[in-house]
Each structure stands twice: as structure tokens, then as C-alpha cells.
Amino acid sequence: MGAGSEDVKRVKMAVVLKQKRELDLMRQANRIVGVVWEAMADAVAPGVTTAALDEIAERIIRQHGAIPSFKGYPHRGRNDFPASICASLNQEIVHGIPSVHRVLQEGDIISIDVGTIYKGYQGDGAITLPVGRVSEEARRLIEVTKAALDIGIAQARVGKRTGDISQAIEKYVRSHGFEVVREYTGHGIGRSMHEDPQVLNYYNPEIRDYALKPGMTLALEPMVNVGSWKTRLLSDGWTVETADGTLSAHFEHTIAITDGEPEIMTRLD
């Protein structure tokens, strides 16, 4: 679940480095996210409601001894999030609310964001899936967004900084003619869903970046739009969509910084 722009403006940060036991628990939490993704890939099809996807996801999360971290998530003193996954269709970027009235149609794309809590530690990850046959533009958007995440992860090594991740993602996305969302970002994760540091998907020299150290755990999540990077919040207080109505895609992995290659905790293989 992407962090909002108001969090990016914080000046003082406290990055928590995780110990072995904490990393082990985070691996379990994020493995469950991956299991849910597999179920979502099997279930997404024309005629399926986003509420049905939410029911499947919650059942799997609880069967694995975890709880859905999004359900009841507070929203600045307003309405808490009512579901276990975020299900965002087409021009919706993040935080779409599942509903029996949202029926998948051939040619849609759907971004599914999954959060878990296992023994006090968080898992978080997102994928964008095609519904049946989609347009060439939609297919390319999904491919570019997924590749942008991989490129960002490749920068997540000791000796690099969070800004290196941001620059790599933005450069790749823009080279393909798309734009990265600026108002919602990646973030640290651990006992809390949103921890420091914020990890932008674009480079902003006015935002302090941080050296990457072993034990840091980050949820990296490029959100990529076909058109403008600008967004608008819908009246439900949660759903964020593109300001110009163009398509958007979203991929997210939770990773751990190590002495070598970054560890992708949400990957099952």
C-alpha cells in the first residue's frame, strides 16, 4: 500500500534495521503475499467481481496464520479501509475498494495490492494482471512497470542510496514514454506497514535520500501512468486514479538489503 505525499515531507527519519529473527518473520509474512498473488492470477477473469477476489485473498491469508493488514487500516481519522486487498481497475492507481458491483470485463487491467501481518511483522506487495485479452498499450504498460520494479531492485545494494533506486525507476519508465506517480511512494516496512525511509519513484534532490544498509527492509512499488503523473482522490476517500483518465499499473515487492544481492521476500521461487 503506497505511502502518500504528506509522508514524504517529513524531515526527521528513523530507519529500523532488522535482526535475523525479524527478517525470518517478514519472510513468512511476504511469502503469504506471494501465495495470494498466485491465487489472484488463477481467479482473475471476465465476470469475476473484485469482492470475490477479496474473499479469496482473505481466506488464504487467514489460513496461513496471518491477518490482512489493510482491513481496518486507518485513514487520517476518517473511514478505515474496509477490505483485505486493494483492487484498482484501469485508470485507478492504488487503494481501490473491492465491491460486488465491480465486475471484471474483457480488456481490463487490475492492480491487486496485498498486505499481511504474521506474528507482528508485515508483508506487502502488488501485481497488475490483464483480464483476458488487453490492448497493446495496456500490455506494454504492464511490462514496463514490472521491469521498472526489477531495475529499481537491482540498485538496492550496500553502497547505493535510496535516490539511486528512484533515479533508475524514473529513467526507465520515462524512456518508454510513460510517467511515474509522484504523490504516492515506496516505503520502509517492518512492524508497521509504513516505516522510514520513503522511496520515491522519481528523483527529487530536495528530498533527502539514505544510504542502504544491511537489515533495511523496503517495499518498492513503481506506479506508472500512460499519461500525466498527476492523480486525483475519489469521493470514497481511498481510491486514487489518474487525473487524465489514462491507464495505470502498479507492481511492488518487499525486499531486504543484504551484504550481497537484495533479497526479494515476496517472490516464491
pLDDT, position 184: 96
Q: In CATH, what number is assigned to the domain containing residue 183? A: 3.90.230.10
Claim: this prediction has a pTM higher than 0.85: yes
DSSP per position, 111-162: EEEEEEEETTEEEEEEEEEE-SS--HHHHHHHHHHHHHHHHHHHT-SBTBBH
pLDDT, position 11: 40
Taking 70 as the pLDDT cut, the residues of the chain under it are 4-13, 76-78, 269
Q: What span, in angstroms and rounded, lies between the C-alpha atoms of 135 and 119?
A: 42
Cα 217 to the chain's mean position, in Å? Answer: 14
Q: What span, in angstroms and rounded, lies between the C-alpha atoms of 269 and 265?
A: 10
What's the alpha-carbon Rg for the chain, to the nearest Å?
17
Domain hosting residue 241, numbered range? 3-264
DSSP helix/strand/coil, 184: strand
pLDDT, position 3: 75
Amino acid at 37: W
Q: What span, in angstroms and rounded, lies between the C-alpha atoms of 93 and 248?
A: 5
What is the grid cell recorded at 77?
A: 481519522
Q: Is the peptide bond before 68 cis (omega within 30 degrees of 0)?
A: no
What is the grid cell recorded at 44?
A: 482473475
Q: Beta strands of 170-257 (E only): which ranges?
A: 179-180, 184-188, 195-199, 217-220, 223-225, 231-233, 240-242, 248-250, 253-256
Amino acid at 72: G
pLDDT, position 13: 56
Torsion sign across C-alpha atoms 34, 38, 41, 44: negative
* Residue tagged 537484495 (cell numbers): 262
Backbone dihedral angles phi then psi of residue 122, each to the nearest 5 degrees: -100, 145
What's the domain count of the chain? 1
Q: What span, in angstroms and rounded, lies between the C-alpha atoms of 11 and 59?
A: 39
Residue 269 lies in a domain: no
Measured CA angle at 224 (ends 221, 229), to 5 deg = 115
Q: What span, in angstroms and rounded, lies between the C-alpha atoms of 269 and 266?
A: 9
